[in-house]
Amino acid sequence: MQQTFSNILIPVDFTQNTEVAIARALDVVDKSGGTLHLLHVQQLLWRQNAAANKQMAQKLATWKGLLEESTPGVTVHSILKWATNVQKSIVATAAAVNADLIVIGKRTPHKWPRLIGAVNPSKLAATSGIPVLTARPGSLHQPIKTIVVPVSDSLPETKMQTLTALCGRLRPMVHLVAFGSGAAISKKATNTLLHLYEWVQKSLLCPVEFTLLEGKPGAKQLLRFAARIDADLVLVYPENETGLDFWNRPIQDALPAHSKVEVLAVRRPIITTTEKQQHYE
């Protein structure tokens, strides 16, 4: 399984979002050989003159220089692109640089899902197949100490890979959460929960607890639980574990700017019976 995040893409907009995203990327990147890719996407719709283009390139170069000076073991690349669709450009760039994590700073929620230039982190994770970590200003300088992981019937392979990378550097407290009714969950979910509990304890050597939440799985229930235990991060599958309402607004839009709770979305894998048996051993 993936032991560290060594190739991280950071979309930057030169606002506080950039500071938040870079700070978190530095927390999780492999300090002894990792790479950060700073990507700024300027929309063709608002194309500017040559002077403005030069200014954007200079801002990227400034960030690149600062990061290389402060983290000598990390390689930093800067990328400036023009595109009609920011989200599609991020997906394409992530594939081109073979990123294993995308980190986004998000200061304010988008009230209109189709807003031009808006990036939907959950859809970005689902489309790219790459984990997407969304941080808010409230998480700046806040270490990741507690992670909430919802558990369903199937083995969460990509969540396990992501936990391996996080626990390797951060050693957080892991809270496994299952949903049920009347203090009971399905036999499959029970088996998955027990296997994950033992795996986190024995393989990751992280402290771990599990909790049963009453009712059906939902983003709002997860956020309430995260607030109750003062969690720092929730690790979820995009869309089916992040939708807030009828419009399927992402869970990230329920969090205010001052929230320290971060959301890490990873795409659900297709797992064969053989792979299940191997992970359960």
Token reading at 25 = 């990327």
pLDDT at residue number 79: 95
Among 139, 174, 199, residue at a domain's last position: 139
CATH number of the domain enclosing 84? 3.40.50.620
pLDDT at residue number 232: 95
- Give mean pLDDT, residues 195-210: 93
- Give mean pLDDT, residues 171-188: 83
pLDDT at residue number 250: 67
Query: Do 134 and 186 belong to one domain?
Result: no
- Is residue 193 assigned to a domain? yes
pLDDT at residue number 115: 44
Token reading at 270 = 């297709």
Query: Do 73 and 130 belong to one domain?
Result: yes
Query: Do 229 and 185 belong to one domain?
Result: yes
Count structural domains, the chain: 2
Query: Do 104 and 179 belong to one domain?
Result: no
- Is residue 53 assigned to a domain? yes
Q: What are phi and psi of 219, to 5 degrees?
A: -65, -40
| Stated pTM of the model | 0.88
Q: Which domain holds residue 85?
A: 7-139
Nearest one of 186, 268, 153, 173 to 226, comparing CA atoms:
173
pLDDT at residue number 273: 42
Query: Do 121 and 28 belong to one domain?
Result: yes
pLDDT band at 195 (very low <50, low <70, confident <90, very high): very high
pLDDT at 244 over 90: no
Query: Do 71 and 30 belong to one domain?
Result: yes
Among 84, 112, 139, residue at a domain's last position: 139
Query: Do 176 and 131 belong to one domain?
Result: no
What confidence tens digit (pLDDT) does each residue in 31-73 have? 999 999 999 998 776 556 677 778 889 999 999 999 999 999 9
- Is residue 1 assigned to a domain? no
What confidence tens digit (pLDDT) does each residue in 123-156 have? 899 999 999 999 988 898 899 999 999 998 777 8
- For the chain, the average pLDDT equals 84
Query: Do 244 and 191 belong to one domain?
Result: yes
On the 0-12 / 13-18 / 19+ scale of CB atoms within 10 A, 81 is: middle
Query: Do 50 and 172 belong to one domain?
Result: no
pLDDT at residue number 246: 53
The strand pair at 101-105 and 132-135 is best described as parallel
CA distance 206 to 60: 37
Query: Do 153 and 276 belong to one domain?
Result: yes
- Is residue 2 assigned to a domain? no
Query: Do 37 and 21 belong to one domain?
Result: yes
pLDDT band at 11 (very low <50, low <70, confident <90, very high): very high
What confidence tens digit (pLDDT) does each residue in 163-177 have? 999 998 888 999 999
Query: Do 134 and 201 belong to one domain?
Result: no
Among 139, 167, 197, residue at a domain's last position: 139
- Give mean pLDDT, residues 107-118: 53
Token reading at 275 = 């792979």
pLDDT at 245 over 90: no
pLDDT band at 264 (very low <50, low <70, confident <90, very high): very high
